[in-house]
């Protein structure tokens, strides 16, 4: 795609008054009937959020000061998807300040992840933020039950260790008031979860670690003004970025490869969730690819577009990006000067995603397939309660405690079992590794190596996602987007389990129910999906998978 086609897309946006109509909350921008405006209006509160949140700055900073004075050492954020990822990005980009608590994000039902988090904190000096827009997210509520029980064992007033961020009148608000949480922050209900970075969901954790949230809001407000209805489209950051994303996706370059400077690499997780969950529906969608450890060496293919987000003076990927541009790959540049500029970047991407949604002709504010996956998981848990075991398929191949299932063909080796799965991948398809392992751990590098092997061996785009995190992110695109995905779900034994107070199932059972439920959902939709169980030795299992992939290709 050439710049002239991008210019033509911007011309069409201008001719149809798309940006003014977005600000007017016109549902017909996304193909929705005018009489059905309620759902659209109730998801566009983020447009004015930077200015509206200025009124909350004093309250938030006063709360953060009290937490600091009481010498809390750690903050644990319990949340999924849009309720936690923006805060995680800010915490990783902002230099740690010794006089402020450390922020830990826990968005996993894998027992090892829960135990590792608990090992890093002093429960008696930890504040837990329970964050959920709906107030009914099973992962968040299960984690809350676990830590409420742990804190109740050491504190006379456990509620003093808990804070909630949720929508007004949610069940979580009721729970928090009943249990006398230290604070209840009620976010505007017209801000959707994945568009909530510049709201209480992002601002409260940021203030607790010492960020100047007034300054963060100023950069977001400046970007909101730049994305305003009166700004010429060529100077409208969100419109231009959205036109690039949407126009390339419509031209078949729907694998949006994010190359991000290492200091803010986690921004890719937030952008991935925003773009994939917003656009992946009605058989359409944009697939973000955001593993910076492998992207620069990945060969360019015709179905990719690239966005390079450079932080400060970092030049890590300049040479690789220049080479891609010289080879004719479509490349878009974004510069982030310092952590506070992330406020502007969040807003720019939110506007861009709504513009891309218009170009794709989809509704960017719902997530129907996420609800489908939740129902399947609930069914799995009900089966467990009834039968004392989860429904599962017999293995197609096994060796000790490692096995492969879902291929439908009995195999005498892992590589022979994988061969027909990879043989079904066509040009323009992608392969997703969905790992139900502890995230942000020693598994990042071996998973990236498998990702790279898939691309090198089969010439297809590959992505990596941790479960259940991806269920609230790319999971929507996997099931509702183009039928071009091929899915490998990775599970493993749990050396230690963690109970969920008040439930008949544990975190290990919940994690496995989510993995098996997603496998069933994908297969019911006709998406090629298999499961590889790694057994007890996860490292050895991952190495064996990488070796088998190369063997399946004949290398």
Residue 555: pLDDT band by 50, 70, 90 thresholds? low
Q: Are residues 377 and 336 in the same domain?
A: no
- The reported pLDDT for the residue numbered 372 is 86
What is the domain extent for residue 163? Answer: 48-211
Q: Are residues 276 and 307 in the same domain?
A: yes
Helices 538-553 & 414-423, crossing angle to 10 degrees? 60
Beta bridge partners of 464: 433
- The reported pLDDT for the residue numbered 4 is 74
- The reported pLDDT for the residue numbered 281 is 95
Choose one of 360, 394, 420: the last residue of a domain.
Answer: 360
Q: Are residues 15 and 99 in the same domain?
A: no
Q: Please check the confidence at residue 300 and state whether its pLDDT lies above 80.
A: no
Pick 38 or 134 by higher pLDDT.
Answer: 134
Euclidean distance between CA atoms 378 and 372, whole angstroms: 10
Q: Are residues 341 and 393 in the same domain?
A: no
Q: Are residues 325 and 439 in the same domain?
A: no
pLDDT, one tens digit per residue, over 78-92 is 999 999 999 999 999
Euclidean distance between CA atoms 527 and 507, whole angstroms: 27
- The reported pLDDT for the residue numbered 288 is 97
Report percent pLDDT > 90 for the chain.
Answer: 88
As a three-state string, the secondary structure of 429-452 is: CEEEEEECCCCCCCCHHHHHHHHH
- The reported pLDDT for the residue numbered 296 is 55
- The reported pLDDT for the residue numbered 299 is 61
Q: Are residues 73 and 37 in the same domain?
A: no
Lowest mean pLDDT among 238-247, 299-308, 399-408, 480-489: 299-308
- DSSP annotation of 502 reads T
Q: Are residues 20 and 88 in the same domain?
A: no
DSSP string, 450-505: HHHHHHHHH--EEEEEETTGGGGTHHHHHHHS-TTEEEEEEE---SS--B-TT-SS
Q: Please check the confidence at residue 493 and state whether its pLDDT lies above 90.
A: yes
- The reported pLDDT for the residue numbered 381 is 96
- The reported pLDDT for the residue numbered 1 is 45
Q: Are residues 227 and 280 in the same domain?
A: yes
Choose one of 162, 188, 211: the last residue of a domain.
Answer: 211
Residues composing the chain:
555
Q: Are residues 403 and 269 in the same domain?
A: no
Return the CATH number at 12: 3.40.50.10490
Average pLDDT of the segment spanning 34-57? 88
Q: Are residues 372 and 396 in the same domain?
A: yes
H/E stretch holding 304 reads: strand 304-311
Residue (of 69, 65, 85, 67) closest to 77 by Cα position:
85
Average pLDDT of the segment spanning 531-538? 98
Beta bridge partners of 76: 104, 128
- The reported pLDDT for the residue numbered 292 is 53
Residue 440: pLDDT band by 50, 70, 90 thresholds? confident
Q: Please check the confidence at residue 295 and state whether its pLDDT lies above 70.
A: no
- The reported pLDDT for the residue numbered 84 is 95
Helices then strands, counting H and E runs in the chain, come out as 21, 15
Q: Please check the confidence at residue 496 and state whether its pLDDT lies above 50.
A: yes
Q: Are residues 240 and 293 in the same domain?
A: yes
pLDDT, one tens digit per residue, over 336-379 is 999 999 999 999 999 999 999 999 999 999 988 888 888 999 99
Q: Are residues 384 and 510 in the same domain?
A: yes
The two structure tokens encoding residue 199 = 């709201």
Choose one of 340, 360, 380: the last residue of a domain.
Answer: 360
């Amino acid at each position: 795609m050439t710049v002239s086609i991008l210019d033509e897309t911007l011309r069409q946006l201008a001719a149809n008054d798309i940006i003014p109509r977005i600000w007017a909350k016109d549902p017909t921008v996304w193909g929705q009937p005018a009489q059905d405006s309620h759902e659209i209006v109730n998801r566009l509160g983020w447009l004015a959020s930077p200015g509206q949140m200025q009124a909350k700055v004093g309250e938030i900073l006063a709360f953060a000061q009290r937490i600091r004075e009481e010498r809390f050492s750690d903050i644990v954020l319990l949340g999924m998807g849009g309720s936690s990822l923006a805060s995680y990005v800010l915490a990783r980009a902002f230099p740690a300040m010794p006089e402020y608590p450390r922020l830990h994000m826990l968005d996993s039902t894998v027992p090892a992840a829960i135990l590792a988090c608990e090992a890093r904190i002093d429960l008696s000096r930890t504040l837990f933020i329970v964050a959920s827009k709906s107030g009914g997210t099973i992962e968040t509520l299960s984690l809350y039950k676990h830590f409420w029980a742990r804190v109740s064992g050491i504190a006379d007033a456990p509620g003093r260790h808990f804070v909630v961020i949720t929508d007004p009148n949610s069940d979580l608000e009721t729970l928090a008031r009943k249990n006398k949480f230290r604070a209840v922050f009620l976010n505007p209900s017209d801000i959707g979860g994945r568009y909530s970075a510049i709201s209480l969901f992002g601002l409260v954790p940021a203030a607790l670690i010492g960020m100047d949230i007034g300054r963060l809001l100023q950069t977001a407000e400046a970007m909101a003004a730049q994305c305003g209805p009166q700004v010429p489209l060529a100077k409208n950051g969100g419109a231009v970025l959205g036109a690039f994303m949407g126009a390339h996706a419509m031209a078949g370059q729907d694998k949006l490869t994010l190359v991000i400077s290492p200091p803010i690499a986690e921004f890719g997780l937030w952008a991935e969730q925003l773009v994939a969950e917003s656009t992946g529906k009605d058989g359409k969608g944009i697939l973000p690819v955001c593993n910076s450890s492998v992207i620069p060496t990945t060969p360019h293919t015709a179905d990719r577009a690239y966005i390079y987000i450079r932080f400060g003076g970092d030049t890590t990927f300049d040479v690789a990006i220049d080479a891609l541009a010289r080879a004719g790959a479509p490349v878009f540049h974004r510069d982030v000067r310092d952590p506070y500029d992330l406020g502007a970047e969040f807003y720019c991407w939110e506007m861009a995603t709504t513009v891309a949604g218009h170009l794709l002709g989809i509704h960017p504010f719902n997530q129907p397939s996420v609800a489908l996956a939740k129902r399947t998981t609930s069914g799995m848990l009900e089966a467990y309660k009834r039968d004392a075991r989860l429904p599962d398929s017999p293995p197609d191949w096994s060796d000790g405690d490692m096995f492969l299932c879902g291929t439908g063909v009995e195999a005498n080796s892992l590589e022979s079992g994988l061969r027909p799965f990879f043989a079904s991948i066509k040009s323009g398809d992608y392969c997703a590794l969905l790992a139900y392992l502890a995230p942000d751990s020693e598994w990042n590098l071996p998973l990236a190596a498998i990702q790279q092997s898939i691309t090198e061996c089969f010439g297809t785009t590959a992505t990596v996602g941790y479960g259940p995190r991806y269920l609230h992110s790319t999971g929507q695109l996997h099931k509702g987007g183009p039928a071009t995905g091929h899915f490998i779900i990775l599970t493993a034994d749990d050396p230690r389990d963690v109970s969920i107070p008040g439930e008949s199932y544990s975190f290990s059972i919940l994690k496995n129910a989510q993995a098996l439920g997603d496998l069933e959902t994908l297969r019911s939709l006709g998406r090629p999906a298999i499961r590889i169980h790694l057994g007890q030795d996860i490292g050895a299992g991952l190495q064996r998978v990488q070796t088998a992939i190369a063997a399946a290709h004949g290398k």
